[in-house]
Structures are given as C-alpha cells and as structure tokens.
Amino acid sequence: MNAGMKPPDTYQGLEFHLNPLRMAYQKLLPATALAVASTSLRLRNRSNPRLIQEPNWIAIKPILSGICGSDLSILRARSSPYLAPLVSFPAVLGHEVVGEVDTENAPWPRGTRVVIDPSIPCQARALTPCPACERGEPDECSNRHHPELGAGMLLGYHRDLPGGWSTRMWAPVTQVHPIPVAMKTRRAVLAEPSSIVWQALSRLKLGDANPTVLIVGAGTVGLLTLWLFKIKYPAATVAIRARYPLQALLATPFGADVVYHDRDDRAFVTSPRLNAVAGEPLPTQWGGWPFRPKGFDIVVDTVGSSVSFYQAATLVRPGGQILLLGGAGPMHVDLTPIWSRRVTLIGSFGYGHSSSIPACTTFDTVVNLLHDTARPVEQLVTHIVPLDHYREALQILDRGDAIKVAFSQPNPKDASPATGSSAP
C-alpha cells in the first residue's frame, strides 16, 4: 500500500465461536474433540476495531502465528472456566505472532518484521495504572475486564481485538518489538512462548550449584524450557521425558543430558533408569502411583494434565520444587505427595515485567537468544499451514506427529498447504 492510501476497512480472521452443545459433545467423546472443533471455526471478513485511530496502537500483518497449547485447550473444550471473565468471544485466536508493520504511523518503516507482547494491561487500554501495573507487573493487571475496552487478557482472547490467525491485527506500539533483519521467521514465532518460559525459570530458587532437573513433556514448551534452562543455569543436569520419536530426536541437540523416551506413562515413572536419581520405587498399593524415596530437585510440568502432574509429584525429591508451565486446567489429582514431602508448587504466567527493568526486556532478551543460538530451535516449527487450510492444521495436530504448527497468510503463492523445512 502506498503512503497516503486509505487502509482497508475490514480484515479476514479465523473466528472461534463458543458452542455449548459442541463443548458437551467434546467432553463426552474427547477422542473426537479436535476434529469437532473445526465446526466452531469460521474464516470471515470482520470490521476493523474502533481503536484503529488510537495513536498508541499500530497495525500488523501476521507472517506466522503459532497454535498454542492454550488455544488447543479452548478448541478441545478442556479450558478451565476460572479465567472466563477475562476473555470474550467470538474471537480471532493467535497470540504467538511474528508479523510486519502495516501502517505509516509507527516508529519503524512499513514492512519491518516484529514480534508482539500480546498482553492487554492498563497502558494498552489508556487507563490510569492499577496497583499491579504501577509496580511494573502488568501480567497481574486488575483491569483486564474493564468495560471501556471489554474483557480480554491477551490479544486473541478479545472479541474485538484479533490475534494472529488473521490477515491484519493491531497491537500497542510499546509492546511491539522489531527483530534482527537476518533472523529466521521460524525462530521469531517462538518469541512469545520463550518469554513465558524465561520468566517462569526466574521464579525457581536454585540453591544447589548443580541441581538435577526433570522436564515432563517435550513439546514446544518442554523443548524451549530445556534450551533456556541450560542457558540460564548451565550447571544444572537436565533430563526430559519425550513421548514421541521426533521429540526425543530433538531433545539432545536442544541440550538434554538425559532423554527418557517412553510412550507409556506408568512405565516411565517406574523405569529402573530413574533409580539413580529417585531411588527404587516401593510396591504400589491399590493401583496408586509409585512412591520413590528420592527425586529430582526440580520438576517442570510442561503438559498440564492429571497424569503429568502425578509424574511430577512422584519424581520430585522431598523439599523439591514443581514448576507448572503446561497451562494446567481442571484435573483430578491426589495432593498427598505435595504436603507429605513438603514440595513447593510454583505457578507462572506472563512475561516477567519488573518495576526495576523496562517492560520490553523479556521479549528483547529471548529475541536475541533465538537469533544467536546454535541450537536448531527453528525445527520446533514442524508445519506451516495457510490460514484458509485450518482444517488441515487440526488434522495434523490430531495425528500427534507435530511439535509446533503455525498459520501463514491465506493461500500464499509460494507454499503448499502444509510445509516442513521449506517454509520461512
């Protein structure tokens, strides 16, 4: 678009609609949940949001937008209702975004590639800072449901503010971060989940000079946790549990000291390979999970299921720490291992802003790490699918052989519907 030309009044967005009947069906037949989810997705033209004229918001054209685990939870009807007051639907999902500046009123030239901090705190809403925002912690903003702009904790979870599953979106200019010219787009799309992980690791208390660490799950978040843990705490000995062959294959080049590759959950926690760290398991009683007298100093649960939590609780040492990074939702669990072994349970959300550090620090840090690392982080993006082939993307995810699936713009001329290493 030439300077001075009026931008289009509409954009295309992959809109998600909440449907109680569909959700009830998905809960009854969870094996079909993702296939059924496509009936609640619709690619349609939407009117630009009213804040398009706001000087502190700029337009972005998404290049790649990842499908996050929290997006999948919504699509599969597995999300907790706890955060429902902070979201609004129908919405265009997608908060893992690398795009290009698509407006003239930005600090950077049109076409500059950027990543986006998708949070919508007081500053983005042009409100007087709440106590959390005032102390530099917008991830705890108390105005994420403020009626002036409406409920929405992140871009993509707001009915009027589209996420990256679209042809155009808008973001607060202070939350837009340019990336190096030479940086691979596949790496850049990992900036948002990497920021989540980098912040979460800072919550751990590592008194031991060489802690033992277990990461449960080797999907996108699990492998990013592995990579960033070895950067942040290089003296740590880090093991990872991988369910699928590709996950296990990538774990070693991502820095794993030990890889446990076992699809069977109970076989994993009873494996003799764990005895050196966790001690020999005692005989189980009444079908319970095994009791091991020792364990890892830290266990990071990147899955967020009842089974992964049991694995974490079984394999952490007495007095150890469990970090929840898997977007855990409703689950039925036995908390006896937590209180009986004095385990510290740590939750984490957001990007780690601080009153003493500029808000951009986390994203800028991980962008530089993603750009500079010799680890093959771009290999996490296993499939790129044009937005109008979204049903195919869900089929890929349903097969279980993907790590990160990302949407590109609809019908790009230079890409097939689903691509591997040949995509950006």
- Is residue 2 one of the residues assigned to a domain? no
Same domain for 363 and 215?
A: no
pLDDT band at residue 416 under the 50/70/90 scheme: very low
Interatomic CA distance for residues 44 and 168, integer angstroms: 12
Instruction: Tell whether the model's pLDDT for residue 358 goes beyond 70.
Output: no
pLDDT at 371 over 60: yes
Mean pLDDT of the chain: 89
Q: Nearest-5° angle of CA 135, CA 141, CA 142?
A: 115
Q: Are residues 184 and 233 in the same domain?
A: no
Residue 149 lies in a domain: yes
What is the per-residue pLDDT for 6?
62
Question: CB under 8 Å to 198, separation ≥6 — which residues?
Answer: 228, 232, 352, 362, 365, 366
Q: Supply the pLDDT for residue 423.
A: 47
- In the prediction, which pLDDT does 421 show? 42
Is the confidence at residue 52, as pLDDT, over 80? no
CA proximity to 298, closest of 198, 196, 201, 195? 201
Burial 231-268 (b: 16+ CB within 10 A, else e): eebeebbbbbbbbeebbbebbeebbbebbbbbeebeeb
Which range has the worst mean pLDDT, 61-65, 260-264, 355-359? Answer: 355-359
Task: Tell me whether the omega of the peptide bond preceding residue 90 falls within 30 degrees of 0, making it cis.
Answer: yes
- pLDDT score recorded for residue 196: 94
Pair (81, 157) in one structural domain: yes
Whether pLDDT at 351 is above 90: no
In a domain, 362, yes or no: yes
Residue 344 vs residue 73, higher pLDDT: 344
376 neighbors 253 (Cβ within 8 angstroms): yes
The answer to whether 227 and 373 are in contact (CB under 8 A) is yes
Contact 163, 171 (CB under 8 A): no
Q: Are residues 105 and 149 in the same domain?
A: yes
Q: Does 417 reside within a domain? A: no
Q: Report the domain count for the chain.
A: 2
Could you tell me if 124 and 272 lie in one domain? no
Residue 199 falls within a domain, yes or no? no
What percent of the chain has pLDDT above 90?
66
**Domain of residue 401, CATH code:** 3.90.180.10
Side chain identity at residue 300, one-letter code: V
Q: Taking each helix axis from N to C terminus, what angle separates 191-201 and 220-232, rounded to the nearest 10 degrees?
A: 50
The per-residue pLDDT for 284 is 82
CB 363 within 8 A of CB 351: yes
Residues 214 and 241: beta-carbon distance below 8 Å: yes
Whether the predicted pLDDT of 413 surpasses 80: no
CATH number reported for the structural domain that contains residue 282 in this entry: 3.40.50.720
Same domain for 271 and 169? no
Could you give the angle at the alpha carbon of 165 between the alpha carbons of 163 and 191, nearest 5°?
65
Q: Assign 3-class secondary structure to the chain.
A: CCCCCCCCCEEEEEEECCCHHHHHHHHHCHHHHHHHHHHHEEEEEEECCHHHHCCCEEEEEEEEEECCHHHHHHHCCCCCHHHHHHCCCCEECCCEEEEEECCCCCCCCCCCEEEECCECCHHHHCCCCCHHHHCCCHHHCCCCCCCCCCCCCECCCCCCCCCCCECCEEEEHHHEEECCCCCCHHHHCCHHHHHHHHHHHCCCCCCCCCCEEEEECCCHHHHHHHHHHHHHCCCCEEEEEECCHHHHHHHCCCCCCEEEECCCHHHHHCCHHHHHHHCCCCCCCCCCCCCCCCCEEEEEECCCCHHHHHHHHHHEEEEEEEEECCCCCCCCCCCHHHHHCCCEEEECCCCCCECCECCCHHHHHHHHHHHHCCCCHHHHEEEEEEHHHHHHHHHHHHHCCCCEEEEECCCCCCCCCCECCCCC
Model confidence band, residue 354 (pLDDT cutoffs 50, 70, 90): very low
**Within a domain: 420:** no
Residue 198 falls inside a structural domain: no
d(CA 325, CA 197): 8
Which comes out higher in pLDDT, residue 198 or 416?
Answer: 198
pLDDT at 46 over 70: yes
288-322 pLDDT, tens digit per residue, is 888 999 999 999 999 988 899 999 999 999 999 99
> Residue 207 — pLDDT band, cuts 50, 70, 90?
confident
Do the domain assignments include residue 240?
yes
Q: What is the pTM of this model?
A: 0.92
Summarize pLDDT for 90-119 with one digit per residue, the tens.
999 999 999 999 998 899 999 999 999 999
pLDDT at residue 350 in the model: 87
Compute the average pLDDT of residues 128-153: 90
| Segment 226-275, tens digit of pLDDT | 999 999 999 999 999 999 999 999 999 999 999 999 888 888 999 999 99
The confidence score (pLDDT) of residue 368 equals 94
Residues 177 and 254 in one domain: no
Same domain flag for 29 and 95 = yes
State residue 158's pLDDT score.
Answer: 95
Higher-confidence residue: 354 or 65? Answer: 65
Query: What is the pLDDT at residue 57?
Result: 93
pLDDT at 303: 92
The confidence band for 424, taking pLDDT boundaries of 50, 70 and 90, is low
In a shared domain, residues 110 and 186: yes
Residues 265 and 397 in one domain: no
Tens-digit pLDDT profile for residues 145-204: 999 889 999 999 999 999 999 999 999 999 999 999 999 999 999 999 999 999 999 899
- Same-domain pairing of 115 and 162: yes
> From CA 328, how far away is CA 285, in angstroms rounded?
27
Last residue of a domain, one of 304, 328, 347: 347
Shared-domain flag, residues 174 and 28: yes
Contact 147, 156 (CB under 8 A): no
The answer to whether 218 and 194 are in contact (CB under 8 A) is no
Q: Which domain holds residue 91?
A: 10-192+358-408
| 20: CB partners within 8 A, 6+ apart | none
Higher pLDDT, 306 or 355: 306
Euclidean distance between CA atoms 173 and 245, whole angstroms: 41
